Amino acid sequence: MTDHDFDEDTLRALADEGSEIALGRLADLYDARDDWEALSALLDEGSEHAGRLLTRRAVANRDLRELQRLSDTGSSEAGLELERLLKQGE
């Protein structure tokens, strides 16, 4: 652990208390672990950062269905990326 790493339980407790920063750090932690289910759960909790990370992954995989799902949850970035990818196919 570096000076800037915090344990997951502490971050979770802070996020549960309403800390958006802790929620974002949890998203980074799950992203580093490639734990997409946990990222999706954070998105369901309202983490915009988790949505951005999931969008980045979906774009890299050219996963149009995932981008649509993310867009449906309110991620405007996912909607824009979906539109961009669909237009590339024209």
pLDDT at 5: 74
pLDDT band at residue 90 using 50, 70 and 90 as cut-offs: low
Give yes or no for a contact between 42 and 27, defined as CB atoms under 8 angstroms apart.
yes
Is this model's pTM higher than 0.95 or not?
no
pLDDT greater than 80 at residue 7? yes
Question: What digits encode the pLDDT tens for the residues 23-81?
Answer: 999 999 999 999 999 999 999 988 999 999 999 999 999 999 999 999 999 888 999 99
pLDDT at 6: 84
What is the domain count for the chain? Answer: 1
Give yes or no for a contact between 88 and 67, defined as CB atoms under 8 angstroms apart.
no
How far are the Cα atoms of 12, 41, 70, 84, 89 from residue 34, in angstroms, in the given order?
18, 13, 17, 25, 29
Angstrom distance (rounded) from CA 44 to CA 72:
12
Asked if residue 2 belongs to a domain, the reply is no
Asked if residue 60 belongs to a domain, the reply is yes
Domain that holds residue 44: 8-88
